[in-house]
Structure 1
């Protein structure tokens, strides 16, 4: 039975998010904690586990207190990691996680955007402090720009009037240019640091790669100007898996505080970015989509019976654009 604020959707399409690591057990301790906050659990209590985050489909039922949606509405959403995912014919989502699907997109196109667009949005808005009003004239560097979050971030920033420098391999140049990147750096042809030395300093850096990328913050951001380095690659789940919830969270907190202080002493704001589900944010993203300022990048649409094949394809590392799974015939 539905909760008072929940919506039951029948999905036509879903997008294969970065679920490969989760399928291998990454984040199991945090998942168990979120699904069993009292930590009174049996071994393997994360199962049954349904993967997948993005959905696009039709509202089937609404809870009693749902005011802005009704059965038959065409919607899209990204459900949070602590809930069962979207690799199923039906999904239950909270009303504040759902938005009306952009009219200009098919369900297949819509299913490729919510998770990555919301991740980019929360990183840029909540962590970087950027917005439509603050972006004009800002210089932003995106490391790992050809992935899902990177392509969404480029389009968001360009729609807000920012100058975007994209870091990727040479075979993604055409896509980056088509999405509106002002400057493109191929990290495979020469040292990234050497190439960045020829550029003006940046107001913000969005890191989708991790590793040594944050070392760039102190060298190529404008110090003492409100410049911000945001990374989406954090040790939060890794620490919880390796050390347990209590010790893992303590280690994560110490790491974050030390990095924040290190960069702040040099005049740079250091932040971590996380995905956050939000229907209202999707409303704004949907307006940009219908205005032609954001578009999906899709490589393939597969049948639900081919989910295993889709995972194998992603594991091989040859994906270009998004892979979307058709769960049911959208004409039915």
Structure 2
């Protein structure tokens, strides 16, 4: 709570019994970034501005879960139905709803790096840095939830294994041309088959 306040944010305990009253007193909000898709996150549409072009972005799309459960065609259809239902309910109050998906983008990463260098973005709190060989331990810690910061996997210190080169093919010195090498040739032709002549019946 204190760390969030030190960053300039307003800390709200989502386990508090009056958490909805706290959000209502701090609202209305123009942008909601939903990372968990809980009942409280879905209720948070009610603390957004009305007809102010506000947007609710959810990082938890049901697409993977629905496609695993119903298959690709019906899973995509189920996701589309849920999206349009949520969007229509938001649109009635002049709001927008959208799912967001992650994708690798070098330009965005470089921009974030520039923001950090220019102190426009504060570096988040890091709970612990694990080495690459400690990945299972870091994963177990992550599954416990309620981490108090980011868990970092450091792969920079891991040595790169040496490249194993295959030995060159064996060769012999040619007796016909000194100073040159010749590779022995193996004849893979099958031996000839000597068939017995068939008897002649008069």
Aligned counterpart in structure 1 of residue 11 of structure 2, from 153, 177, 184: 184
Q: Does 1:270 align with 2:94?
A: no
Q: How far apart are the structure 2 equivalents of 1:246 and 1:302?
A: 40
Matched residues in 1 for 2:64 and 2:142: separation?
21
Deviations 1:103-126 (CA, angstroms, capped at 9, x unpaired): xxxxxxxxxxxxxxxxxxxxxxxx
Once the 2 structures are TM-superposed, how far is the Cα of residue 330 of structure 1 from its aligned partner? 6.7
Report if aligned partners of 2:128, 2:151 keep a CA contact under 8 Å in 1.
yes
Q: SS state of the match for residue 25, structure 2?
A: coil
Out of 126, 137, 140, which is 1:312 matched to?
A: 140
- 1:36 alignment partner in structure 2: none
* Paired residue secondary structure (1:185): coil
- Partner SS, residue 206 of structure 1: strand
More strand by share: 1
TM-score by length of 2: 0.71
Runs of 4+ in 1 over 3 A off after TM superposition: none
Asked if structure 2 preserves the Cα contact closer than 8 Å seen for 1:202 and 1:227, the reply is yes
Kept after mapping to 1: 8 A contact 2:86/2:97 = yes
Task: Supply the RMSD in Å over aligned alpha carbons.
Answer: 2.0
Instruction: Report if aligned partners of 1:206, 1:230 keep a CA contact under 8 Å in 2.
Output: yes
In the TM superposition, what is the alpha-carbon distance from 1:328 to its structure 2 partner?
Answer: 4.8
Alignment of 1:180-329 (within 5 A): 180-181=8-9, 183-212=10-39, 213-217=41-45, 219-294=46-121, 295-329=123-157
User: Are residues 230 and 318 of structure 1, via their aligned partners in 2, closer, same or farther at CA, if it must alter by over 3 Å?
Assistant: closer
Q: Trace 1:33-48 onto structure 2 (pairs within 5 A).
A: none
Structure 2 gaps, min length 5: 161-202
Give the Cα–Cα distance (whole angstroms) in 2 for the partners of residues 303 and 187 of structure 1. Answer: 33
Paired residues of 1:230 and 1:273 also in contact (CA < 8 A):
yes
- For the 8 Å contact 1:260–1:271, the answer to whether it is kept is yes
CA distance in 1, matches of 2:119, 2:65: 38
- In structure 1, what is the Cα distance between the partners aligned to 2:89 and 2:133? 49
Query: Residues 45-64 of structure 1: CA distance to partner in whole angstroms, max 9, x if unpaired?
Result: xxxxxxxxxxxxxxxxxxxx
Partner SS, residue 112 of structure 2: helix
* Residue pair 1:214, 1:229 contacting (<8 A) in 2 also: no
Q: Offset of 1:251 from its aligned partner?
A: 0.8
Q: Which consecutive unaligned segments of at least 5 residues does structure 1 have?
A: 1-172
Give aligned pairs, total.
158
SS at match of 1:324: strand
Contact 2:132–2:158 (Cα < 8 Å) also in 1: no
